[in-house]
Structure 1
């Protein structure tokens, strides 16, 4: 095959492969369950993305825990979600956050009022597909509170958040 033709075939196949990879990153369906909240003495509450997006939202501008790119993370303040459930955990309570891959992390309830973490459903104005750490990401305002820039808090910024257990 002539060099010029091989070059164009290679470019075409590369572009085709790139477009196929992006097709896999579909947005999470708005009406499927996205988050479950377990609270003692209450039934499990399930939220879809549509339900979460209908709640008052806030935006946190911060670097993600695993990259240096500053992004705008839009979502529901964790404190607001808990108030909607009539849950007010004492300051010494813990919230266990679980991801789709079963990773879990403990968040002290004191973080809620002190740092106002957000259950983000958008990054830079775009929904977050599961393949890109979505559909939900618990984001702390790392760039507003310098004390958050430690591994302890980066670990609490859980991506692919799927369940919250109030303990």
Structure 2
């Protein structure tokens, strides 16, 4: 999907929090605006695009933790990253995460296995819009693993996540 169409999809989402519509089964082709594209070393030839409904159909989990931009513990909920990767048949050693502003960072696959981060779409029960750093934020369980309270892990907590490339 070209960047212009991707951004148009996200502009349509800016006022609509992720998960505001009814849940449904995952679809082969997104029925709503694409909020995440996964490519690279995955099953099949091209990228896999997800809308909010397809992501939530994979199942969600909650993490209660502090972040560097919130002082009090908060309840983050979203799809476990390992479920997203399993759904596309990811077979790499690392992930290149890219945000709407083109910020990108590499996340070792070992982080996914060891820490179980989620692609959070809700904060304290409220869906995240683009204005709220959404629609997706990679959230680690910072309060559950003391070693996560290091800048390298805070840098990996990408907000406004739009793309994952499996490397």
Q: What TM-score, normalized by structure 2, do the two folds share?
A: 0.79
> Matches of 1:111 and 1:70 in 2, distance apart?
21
Larger radius of gyration: 1
> Matches of 2:100 and 2:17 in 1, distance apart?
13
> Matches of 2:166 and 2:72 in 1, distance apart?
32
Ranges of 4+ aligned residues in structure 1 off by more than 6 Å = none
Check if 1:56 corresponds to 2:59. yes
Check if 1:83 corresponds to 2:86. yes
Tell me by how many angstroms 1:88 deviates.
3.4
The answer to whether the Cα contact below 8 Å between 2:39 and 2:166 also exists between their aligned partners in 1 is yes
Q: How does 1:15-30 map to 2 (within 5 A)?
A: 26-28=15-17
Gaps of 5+ in 2: 1-13, 22-31
* Corresponding residue of 2:164: 164
Gaps of 5+ in 1: 1-24
Give the match's secondary structure for 2:83: helix
The answer to whether the Cα contact below 8 Å between 1:65 and 1:157 also exists between their aligned partners in 2 is no
* Superposition RMSD in Å: 1.5
Check if 1:68 corresponds to 2:74. no
> Matches of 1:28 and 1:99 in 2, distance apart?
17
The answer to whether the Cα contact below 8 Å between 1:119 and 1:136 also exists between their aligned partners in 2 is yes
Q: What TM-score, normalized by structure 1, do the two folds share?
A: 0.79
* Corresponding residue of 1:39: 40
